[in-house]
Amino acid sequence: MDRSRRNFLGLGAAAVGTATLQPATVEAREARHGGDAAHRWAMVVDLRKCVGCQACTMACIMENRVPEDSFRTIVSTYEVAENGKSATYMLPRLCNHCENPPCTPVCPTGATYQRQDGIVVVDNSVCVGCGYCVQACPYDARFINHETLTADKCNFCVHRVDAGLLPACVETCVGGARIFGDLNDPESTVSKLVASEDVKVLKPGEGTDPRVFYIGLEAEFQGRVDGTPTLWRPSRAKAEPSLV
């Protein structure tokens, strides 16, 4: 299993460039358990192909029963005005399943951990909902689920991957922008793309070594975006009576 929906349809991508993969620290590697160490699951997001349709956002919500106003993945959308011209920029965001995740060592109960195949999961029968992992993630990838009252995040649809299926967002991606596969397999599309394309990651300076790679990621969007914030806010805070 290693493809995007587009690849599945026979529409592969090719370009040039290189990238280096930092290995996990000894501590991060030793702390891993569960999963199959033969694989290292990863995603490549080809921003040139994303049309910002949010089909992945919806598929994730449906697949994982993500509660209202919460998101495991979303396509951040920006309008970039430059020298009198404007363009739209789409950036799908999800958990990066970092090689050195800062979210797992802080967990006081061990509820969140990294599997040997690199997927970072939350066991919500153990999680106490302390929110420490939410604070520690530099990507705002985690949140407290209002229904389970535990930490929640993208888990690469681990239940599907274990069953030999693609994550729901990859399966549904119309543009074939999301490509999922095994970095341990040099023949996989993700391995080839990471080796051949000029792939970038979000916040490379954090030392997290994400395993979600982007093709076409502009420097302005790699870290905290400096711009005018969206006016859109989730309705939950407004629905609940508040004082300020």
Residues of the shown chain interacting with ligand SF4 in the complex, contacts defined by CB under 6 A = 95-98, 101-103, 107-109, 111-112, 120, 122, 127-133, 137, 139, 141-142, 150-151, 153, 208
Q: By C-beta, is 103 or 193 nearer to ligand SF4?
A: 103
Q: By C-beta, is 18 or 76 nearer to other proteins?
A: 76
Q: Which stretch binds other proteins (CB under 8 A): 15-23, 68-76, 162-170, 173-181?
A: 68-76
Q: Does 30 bind other proteins (CB under 8 A)?
A: no
Q: Tell me the backbone φ, ψ of residue 237, rounded to 5 degrees.
A: -60, -35
Q: By C-beta, is 101 or 167 nearer to ligand SF4?
A: 101
C-alpha of 229 from chain center: 21
As a whole number of angstroms, the distance between CA 58 and CA 72 comes to 10
DSSP string of 11-31?
-----------PPPPHHHHHT
Dihedral sign for Cα atoms in the order 204, 206, 212, 217 = negative
Residues in the chain: 244
- Which of ligand SF4, other proteins, none has residue 96 at its interface (CB below 5 to 8 Å by kind)? ligand SF4
x/- mask, other proteins, residues 169-198, rule CB under 8 A, reads ------------------------------
As a whole number of angstroms, the distance between CA 115 and CA 29 comes to 9
Q: Does 110 bind other proteins (CB under 8 A)?
A: yes
As a whole number of angstroms, the distance between CA 197 and CA 208 comes to 21
Residue 102 contacts by C-beta under 8 Å, 6 or more apart in sequence?
A: 136, 137, 138, 206, 208
Q: By C-beta, is 31 or 195 nearer to other proteins?
A: 31
Q: Which residues are at the interface with other proteins (CB under 8 A)?
A: 27, 31, 52, 54, 71, 74-84, 88-89, 93, 102, 105-111, 126-132, 134-140, 142-144, 149-150, 202-203, 206, 220, 223-230, 232-234, 236-238, 240-244
